[in-house]
């Protein structure tokens, strides 16, 4: 009798696996992802985190999944601190960022900058580069001396941001803003460089930079 019950249970399991195996596997992966994500979140401290509000645009741990919003992960802390100050003072304009930056204390700004600077840099995996624009952009970046400020691999350093692997739309928007004078920086180098490029050349530069692999820390 026990053998018949055991065989019946195995048969039921087999039938369930046959009909719902894919769904059950998907559920397992989802549960595993939730568990792993929760553990990673709690490792950074108890809920809520100061950076929770940033995740909506900039992604989990600063790894943006949207071409329009920049990844903050692995950006130099000095650069992030400066930009938050600029937003708070109205020296850099973006509707979502100014009100948020104005609410932050100096300690909170330093905490956010330190947190994101320590996160691994994500590759821009969802971007598919046009090969012609990519090649043109590579040449333009090489001749404009971008590595002098942004580092040999364009990973950023000091007050200069990481460009490698950033969102294409974000890069185009920033180059256009520098070219038009809507965005500025102390050296004036970005305005001069961006203004000297045509709109198509700025798109080529953005294509190349967005397609670059990052160096995960």
Same fold, 56-117 and 131-211: yes
Task: Tell me the mean pLDDT in the region 100-129.
Answer: 95
Q: What are phi and psi of 6, to 5 degrees?
A: -60, -45
Question: What dotted CATH number matches 56-117?
Answer: 1.10.760.10
Mean pLDDT of the residues in the chain: 86
Task: Tell me the mean pLDDT in the region 124-151.
Answer: 96
Q: Do residues 205 and 175 make contact, with C-beta atoms less than 8 angstroms apart?
A: yes
Report the phi/psi class of residue 178: left, alpha or beta, with left for phi > 0 and alpha for psi in -120 to 50.
alpha
Domain positions in the chain: 1-43, 56-117, 131-211
For 131-211, which CATH superfamily applies? Cytochrome c-like domain (1.10.760.10)
> What is the percent of the chain with per-residue pLDDT over 70, rounded to a whole number?
76
Q: What are phi and psi of 92, to 5 degrees?
A: -130, 135
Q: Report pLDDT digits (tens) over 7-63.
A: 555 566 566 567 666 665 565 554 554 455 455 555 565 545 788 989 999 999 999
Task: Tell me the mean pLDDT in the region 72-92.
Answer: 97
Q: What is the pLDDT of residue 215?
A: 72
């Amino acid at each position: 009798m026990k053998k018949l019950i055991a065989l019946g249970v195995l048969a039921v399991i087999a039938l369930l696996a046959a009909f719902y195996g894919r769904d059950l596997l998907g559920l397992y992966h989802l549960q595993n992802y939730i568990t792993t994500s929760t553990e990673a979140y709690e490792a950074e401290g108890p809920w809520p985190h100061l950076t929770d509000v940033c995740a909506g645009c900039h992604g989990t741990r600063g790894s943006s999944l949207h071409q329009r919003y920049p990844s903050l992960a692995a950006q130099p802390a000095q650069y992030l601190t400066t930009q938050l100050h600029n937003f708070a003072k109205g020296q850099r304009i973006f509707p979502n960022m100014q009100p948020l930056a104005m609410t932050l204390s100096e300690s909170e700004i330093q905490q956010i900058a330190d947190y994101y600077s320590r996160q691994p840099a994500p590759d821009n995996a969802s971007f598919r580069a046009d090969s012609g624009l990519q090649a043109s952009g590579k040449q333009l970046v090489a001749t404009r001396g971008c590595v002098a400020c942004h580092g040999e691999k364009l990973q950023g350093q000091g007050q200069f941001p990481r460009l490698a692997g950033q969102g294409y739309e974000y890069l185009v928007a920033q180059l256009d803003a520098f070219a038009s004078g809507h965005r500025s920086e102390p050296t004036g180098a970005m305005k001069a460089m961006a203004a000297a490029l045509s709109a198509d050349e700025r798109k080529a530069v953005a294509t190349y930079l967005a397609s670059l692999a990052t160096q995960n820390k």
